């Protein structure tokens, strides 16, 4: 296969190894592995439903009940699910926009989508590959001479999280600033400077580590090649062609979310949950009995995640986006096939575990991504073979015991959708 911008005979992406979490079956996608912390998660588990992909009989009432039960068990203030299948569709809203409030969430609400943003950044890069402006086996040093060992790191390795570059959101100094000055606007170059001060995890291609540094680099490369800010590239290349009128990639100075929107909450803070998203046992108990209240993270400036996680969207837009990712509306057939073929087990000894590829994860039969950052958790996936699309978001992340509530809810729903 010869794809423009991809050297003839270049191999499909090598098998990956993962440290990101997606309880559904693929990857964690947040600028924070624990939605509460901007660092990556280290757990991965197998798909909830990974059999032959046959669909269960459609039962809307049962699916809605499953969703309500999951939301109650996870104690989220509000949550929305959107499911599209050949047999029927479900859009359902649960709970309220603010902790202790009465204003209900709605499917039209805007939420921060965290690392689902990575699928946008990487799609722009793949479009540039298609246009012959960059190749997957180009060394990153061709575009960013300042990257440590950049002559030996390829663009493909940035896309597949195999560069070995340190993830700046694991740095204590970043988490301390996020807690002390959540409104800070982070220039991408400052984020990279943090990353480059730390040694790599491994030599390029010798392992897998989920790192926001990779995607920030890709965002800067995309801006340079496209000759416009990433905000404009997303608008012109992705949002406008797909009619995503509720989606925004904000300016770095902005911490605003378009109306309507819920508030986003977390328990504890970023430093406390840096190494373990679960709170200490006494704090978990206090959260359960109501003596520990969550903090409102809505106004945190998401520029610390930038190209890796600062996007905003709605349930409908996320569903349309997931379907575009799965169906190839924004890539040619050859490059789309390469992308969908790219997710590989990220642990060689766990072929049924997490899968990650060219800026895309695979959860059982669904292609997409998750997003976690303080206050919001999102899941968006599409199964192009069965024509199933699932979106879930919550306005709490993580739970006091360290779980990603939208991801956990999606996992439960997938178990009801597939045999």
Q: How far apart are CA 142 and CA 64, in angstroms?
A: 51
Could you tell me the two tokens for 103?
Answer: 């204003």
User: What is the predicted pLDDT for the residue at 388?
Assistant: 98
Q: Mean pLDDT throughout 72-82?
A: 98
Using pLDDT thresholds of 50, 70 and 90, give the confidence band for residue 47: very low
CATH of 60-417 given 3.60.150.10, 3.40.1160.10, 3.40.630.30, 3.40.710.10: 3.40.710.10
Average pLDDT over residues 390-412: 97
pLDDT at 217: 98
Confidence check: pLDDT of 40 > 70: no
- pLDDT band of residue 234 (cuts 50, 70, 90) is very high
Does residue 300 surpass a pLDDT of 80?
Answer: yes
Cβ count within 10 A of residue 275: 12
- Please tell me the distance from the alpha carbon of residue 172 to that of residue 234, in angstroms, as a whole number: 31
Token digits of residue 110: 């805007």
CB 36, CB 267: distance < 8 Å: yes
Alpha helices in 333-404 (DSSP H): 333-341
Question: How far, in Å, are 88, 306, 325, 418 from residue 121 at the CA level?
Answer: 32, 10, 12, 30
pLDDT of res. 20: 37
Cα torsion 48, 50, 54, 58 to 10°: value is 10
Note the pLDDT of residue 321.
98
Q: What is the mean pLDDT of residues 145-159?
A: 98
Q: Is the pLDDT of residue 418 over 70?
A: yes
pLDDT of residue 348: 73
> What is the predicted pLDDT for the residue at 11?
27
For range 293-316, the mean pLDDT:
98
What proportion of the chain, given as a percentage, has pLDDT over 90? 84
Residues 6+ apart with CB under 8 A from 20: 27, 28, 29, 33, 40, 41, 42, 44, 161, 210, 346, 354, 356
Are 360 and 40 in contact, with CB atoms under 8 Å apart?
Answer: no
pLDDT > 50? residue 14: no
The predicted pLDDT at position 306 comes to 98
Model confidence over 312-323: pLDDT tens digits?
A: 999 999 999 999
On the question of pLDDT at 229 being above 80, the answer is yes
Q: Does the structure show a pLDDT above 50 at 100? A: yes
Tens digit of pLDDT for each residue in 268-283?
A: 999 999 999 999 999 9
Range with the lowest mean pLDDT among 52-66, 207-221, 295-309?
52-66
Q: How far apart are CA 331 and CA 289, in angstroms?
A: 50
* Least confident piece of the model among 8-17, 229-238, 387-396: 8-17
> What is the per-residue pLDDT for 351?
75
Task: Give the Cα separation of 33 and 114 in Å (integer).
Answer: 10
Q: Does 245 have pLDDT greater than 70?
A: yes
Structure tokens given for 349: 């000894």
Q: Does residue 334 surpass a pLDDT of 50?
A: yes
pLDDT attached to residue 281? 97
Quote the CA–CA distance of 93 and 13 in Å, as a whole number.
39
> Would you say 10 and 335 are in contact if contact means Cβ atoms under 8 Å apart?
no
Contact 367, 219 (CB under 8 A): no
**pLDDT higher at 54 or 18:** 54
Q: Are 3 and 129 in contact (CB under 8 A)?
A: yes
Whether pLDDT at 387 is above 60: yes
Structural tokens at position 20? 């990101």
CA angle 276, 282, 285 (to 5 degrees): 100
Domain residue spans in the chain?
60-417
pLDDT of amino acid 350: 79
Quick check: 38 pLDDT over 70? no
**CA separation for the pair 210, 118 (Å, rounded):** 12
- pLDDT of 225 > 80? The answer is yes
- CA distance linking residue 30 with residue 38, whole number of Å: 8
In the chain, % of residues over pLDDT 70: 87
CA 17 → CA 34, 230, 355, 364, 408, distances in Å? Answer: 19, 29, 8, 17, 22
**Ordered DSSP codes for 212-277:** HHHHHHHHHHHHHHHTS-HHHHHIIIIIHHHT-TT-B---TT----PSS----EESS-TTTTSS-S
Beta bridge partners of 362: 355, 367
DSSP readout, 137-168?
A: TSBGGGT-TTSTTGGG-BHHHHHTT-S----G
pLDDT at 345: 83
Task: Please determine, for residue 16, whether its predicted confidence score (pLDDT) is greater than 60.
Answer: no
User: How far apart are the C-alpha atoms of 50 and 91, rounded to whole Å?
Assistant: 24
pLDDT exceeds cutoff 50 at 33: no
Q: Which two tokens stand for residue 291?
A: 């003596």
Mean pLDDT of the chain: 89
């Amino acid at each position: 296969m010869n794809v423009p911008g991809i050297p003839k005979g270049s191999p499909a992406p090598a098998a990956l190894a993962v440290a990101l979490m997606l309880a559904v079956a693929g990857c964690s996608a947040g600028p924070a592995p624990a939605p509460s912390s901007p660092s990556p998660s280290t757990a991965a588990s197998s798909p909830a439903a990974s059999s032959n992909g046959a669909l269960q009989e459609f039962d809307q009432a049962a699916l809605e009940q499953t969703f309500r039960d999951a939301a109650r068990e996870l104690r989220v203030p509000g949550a929305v699910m959107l499911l599209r299948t050949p047999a029927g569709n479900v859009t359902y809203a649960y709970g309220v926009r603010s902790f202790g409030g009465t204003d209900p969430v709605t499917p039209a609400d805007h939420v921060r989508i965290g690392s689902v943003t990575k699928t946008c950044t990487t799609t722009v890069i793949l479009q540039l590959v298609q246009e012959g402006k960059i190749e997957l086996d180009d060394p990153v040093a061709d575009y960013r001479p300042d990257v440590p060992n950049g002559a030996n790191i390829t663009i493909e390795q940035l896309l597949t999280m195999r560069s070995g570059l340190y993830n700046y959101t694991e740095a204590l100094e970043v988490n301390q600033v996020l807690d002390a000055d959540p409104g800070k606007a982070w220039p991408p170059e400052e984020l990279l400077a943090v990353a480059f001060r730390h040694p790599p995890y491994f030599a390029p291609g010798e392992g897998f580590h989920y790192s926001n540094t990779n995607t920030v680099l890709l965002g800067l490369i995309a801006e340079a090649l496209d000759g416009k800010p990433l905000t404009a590239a997303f608008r012109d290349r992705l949002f406008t062609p797909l009619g995503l009128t509720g989606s925004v990639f904000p300016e770095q100075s902005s911490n605003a979310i378009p109306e309507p929107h819920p508030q986003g909450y977390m328990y504890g803070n970023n430093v406390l949950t840096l190494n373990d998203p679960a709170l200490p046992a006494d704090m978990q108990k206090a959260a359960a009995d109501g003596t520990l209240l969550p903090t409102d993270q809505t106004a945190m400036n998401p520029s610390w995640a930038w190209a890796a996680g600062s996007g905003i969207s709605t349930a409908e837009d996320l569903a349309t986006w997931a379907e575009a990712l799965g169906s190839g509306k924004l890539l040619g057939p050859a490059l789309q096939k390469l992308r969908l073929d790219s997710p590989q087990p990220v642990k060689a000894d766990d072929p049924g575990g997490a899968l990650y590829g060219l800026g895309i994860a695979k959860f059982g039969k669904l292609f997409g991504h998750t997003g976690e950052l303080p206050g919001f958790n999102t899941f968006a996936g599409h199964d192009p073979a069965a024509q199933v699309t699932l979106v879930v978001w919550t306005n709490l992340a993580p739970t006091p015991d360290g779980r990603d509530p939208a991801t956990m809810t999606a996992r439960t729903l997938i178990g009801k959708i597939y045999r």
